[in-house]
Each structure stands twice: as C-alpha cells, then as structure tokens.
Amino acid sequence: MHVTPTTVAGTTDDETWPSVSVNGNANAVVVWQDHAVVTLQPTFGASSFRIDQYSILARRVFRPALGQPLGNVIPIASPLLGNAFYTHPVVAVRRDGGDNPVAYVVAYTTSGGLSITDGIGVTEVSFDDKIRASYAISAQTADPALSIDAQGNYVLSYTRYDKSSSSLLTDPNIRKRRGAL
C-alpha cells in the first residue's frame, strides 16, 4: 500500500507540536501549535515592536476512501492581546460517528498575556466545528493528556506542581478531571 503525504498545515508560520486522534473509521482531527510574529507600528512616531503569538489550531482529516478535502482550520485558542502563549496541544476525538464528523476535545498549556493564567486550557468542539466550551485549570499545571470514549466522556490528566514548605520547591503530582461532550 502506498500512502501519499498530505499537508495539514502549510502557512509561513512555525507550525509544530502536532497531536492526532482517530475514530474507528480512520477519520481524524489534527491539532498543532502555531507561532506567528506580528510587527506593530504605532501611529505617532514610536518605533515598531514585535509580538510573538502562539495559537492552537485544529483541522479534520477524513480517510482517503471518502475523497473529501481537509476540513477547515479551526482556531482553538488564539491570543487577542499581548504575548499570551498557547502551546503543547493534545486532542481526543469521540470514537463514534463512523464517517460523520464527531466532537472532540483539545487541551493545551497556557502562559503569559494580560488575562491568561499559567496552566492548562481545555476547549470542547462540537461535530459542526463550533467551540462548545472553553475553560482553564488553575495555575501550576502542565503536561495535559486526554482520552475519550464513544459516548463523549473524557478524562484529562495533567501534572500539578504543588508548592512544598519551601517556596522554591515544588512537588509534581498527577491529577485528573472528567468531562463530557
């Protein structure tokens, strides 16, 4: 069997850290970290400055036998202002649905920015690529992992860095949360 590569993300941005999840019929969702540099020029004579923007994007990839094009690129998490970073995504696609698009959940690391707390962000996406819910898990969390079943029940695990008696030391522990699409 010969497999032809398909470009899922191909802009001039740095597109890295892919994660993929596949349902029982080999239809998939791919998420990745997108890094763009935006140069801003103030109106009144000040010099320009750069802002690094790290976003999380997703795209459906249908099995080749269907002959369907790639799905639209869906912005999962994008900074609106400042140097917010959304990085290291993971995805879990609901296992049911056959060849129909199904819901999926994405978890990612958040840091920086004006209104972003360092920690983990979670975004739930419905079968029609609409953001259904987005929430954050408190500071001192990182390293998300996801799994989901055919009914849409998912488990998110992550590392929580609890402060020890010393303010300089942390005690990493694995935590979990449950959710449902």
Residue 77: burial class (beta carbons within 10 Å; 0-12, 13-18, 19+): buried
Q: What is the pTM of this model?
A: 0.83
The helix/strand/coil state of 88 is strand
Closest CA to 179 of 158, 150, 148: 148
Give whole-number Cα distances, 96 to 25, 52, 62, 100, 106, in Å: 9, 38, 14, 9, 17
Architecture of domain 14-40+48-180: 6 Propeller (2.120)
CA count, 13 A, side-chain hemisphere, 145: 7
Torsion of CA 142, 148, 153, 159, to 10 degrees: -20
Q: What pLDDT digit, counting tens, does each position of 52-107 carry?
A: 788 999 999 988 888 888 899 999 998 765 567 888 999 999 887 677 888 999 99
For the chain, domain boundaries: 14-40+48-180
The helix/strand/coil state of 13 is coil
